[in-house]
Amino acid sequence: MDWTNKVILITGGTGSFGKKFIKMLLAEKQPKKIIVFSRDELKQHEMRVAGYDHPSLRYFIGDVRDRDRLLRAMHGVDIVVHAAALKQVPACEYNPMEAVKTNIIGTSNVLEAALDAGVSRVLALSTDKAVSPANLYGGTKLVAEKLVIQSNAYAADSATRYSCVRYGNVVGSRGSVVPLFLKQRASGRITITDDRMTRFWLSLEQGVHFVMTCIEQMEGGEVFVPKIPSTKVIDLARAIAPQAEINIIGIRPGEKLHEDLLSDDEARHTIEIEHMYVIQPAEAVWFGYSWKDKGTPLPEGFTYTSDNNTEWLDVQGIKEYIAPFEADFLNGKLEG
């Protein structure tokens, strides 16, 4: 795909993913225009003064809850990356309707505006917490996924196509446990909720490259799941603060011991290729099914969870993984 003549809009463009996506997109793809769509004018200003002032960048203030504003922003847009969300689990639990308004209704607005504006491709970011959700955040992202995939039924006679990517925890992103552990290290005491806990991990760079690849390959209707390593959270704590005392404080409401990226029900209509799993739409009513000829079907009962993963980061591997983020933290650049 030739990106140089494309206009891309990213919702939540001032977030950790959005900023990295924009930086890498400018460096590697040189698109015609990138529209940063977000509701916080201060963060947009801070982005500009931090060096995000490329001639192809446009800053558009708006909220995904406002469908009319989205429609205006999407005029002439070719590709939408939907990254805006309320994602802090405790905040979503305490403010459930706010999470619903942004993560569900906001997603619906993005999808409808894209269809009406004639956008070609819409890729929405999801999370492992959307699989068998244990908290409201995961529940809203599950609904958002269903909205994205099923919207292809309405778009089948148009040029618009919708797909999702679903991946695990991003090292160094806002809300990541990495900056928390780095802060706690100074006290000599690290807190974790359960010493059996495991998580999927990937870097922001990995996430951005995966999204770019999926935009280029999507037909509409797929959920793309990358193959990424797992870590034990206690190993993460030991990698960051090997001399610190580790205190187990008990699992929190809405928290899982292990996360899922692919359920056994989904595995029945999923194919495996070299670096990812592609979940095909459950109902063959439109498109997204040519993937079955590009990969291998999964065996009956297959699941992809953070505790049954075949790829693991040990303490040394984790140290190498987080080294850039630790350096940024020490230099005051890490986004917590």
Three-state SS for the chain is CCCCCCEEEEECCCCHHHHHHHHHHHHHCCCCEEEEEECCHHHHHHHHHCCCCCCCEEEEECCCCCHHHHHHHCCCCCEEEECCCCCCHHHHHHCHHHHHHHHHHHHHHHHHHHHHHCCCEEEEEEEHHHCCCCCHHHHHHHHHHHHHHHHHHHHCCCCCEEEEEEECEECCCCCCHHHHHHHHHCCCEEEECCCCCEEEEECHHHHHHHHHHHHHHCCCCCEEEECCCEEEHHHHHHHHCCCCEEEECCCCCCCCCCCEEECHHHHCCEEEECCEEEECCCCCCCCCCHHHHCCEECCCCCCEECCCCCCECCHHHHHHHHHHHHHHHHCCCCCC
Q: What is the pLDDT of residue 288?
A: 54
C-alpha–C-alpha distance, residues 313 and 200, integer Å: 10
Identify whether 144 is part of a domain.
yes
Identify whether 77 is part of a domain.
yes
Count of domains observed in the chain = 1
Identify whether 294 is part of a domain.
yes
Q: Kindly state the average pLDDT of the residues 140-165.
A: 93
Q: What is the pLDDT of residues 71-91, one digit of tens each?
A: 999 999 999 999 999 999 989
Tell me whether residue 333 is one of the annotated catalytic residues.
no
Q: Is the pLDDT of residue 153 over 80?
A: yes
C-alpha–C-alpha distance, residues 249 and 233, integer Å: 13
Q: Kindly state the average pLDDT of the residues 34-42.
A: 97
Q: Is the pLDDT of residue 62 over 90?
A: yes
Domain that holds residue 147: 7-167+203-227+260-304
Q: What is the pLDDT of residue 336?
A: 40
User: Residue 114 burial by CB count (10 A; 0-12/13-18/19+): exposed, middle or buried?
Assistant: buried
Percent of the chain with pLDDT over 70: 96
Joined together, the tokens standing for residue 330 give: 């020490």
Q: What is the pTM of this model?
A: 0.95
Identify whether 329 is part of a domain.
no
CATH value at residue 28: 3.40.50.720
Q: Is the pLDDT of residue 287 over 70?
A: no
Q: What is the pLDDT of residue 320?
A: 87
Identify whether 175 is part of a domain.
no
Identify whether 254 is part of a domain.
no
Between 2-6, 151-155, 224-228, the lowest mean confidence (pLDDT) is in: 151-155
* Contact (Cβ atoms closer than 8 angstroms) between residue 247 and residue 189: yes
Q: Kindly state the average pLDDT of the residues 218-228.
A: 95
Q: What is the pLDDT of residues 249-267, one digit of tens each?
A: 999 888 999 999 999 999 9
Identify whether 182 is part of a domain.
no
Q: What is the pLDDT of residues 185-222, one digit of tens each?
A: 989 999 999 999 999 999 899 999 999 999 999 999 99
Q: What is the pLDDT of residue 321?
A: 83
Q: What is the pLDDT of residue 124?
A: 98
- The residue annotated as part of the active site, out of 129, 141, 232, 256, is 129
Q: Is the pLDDT of residue 282 over 90?
A: no
Identify whether 266 is part of a domain.
yes
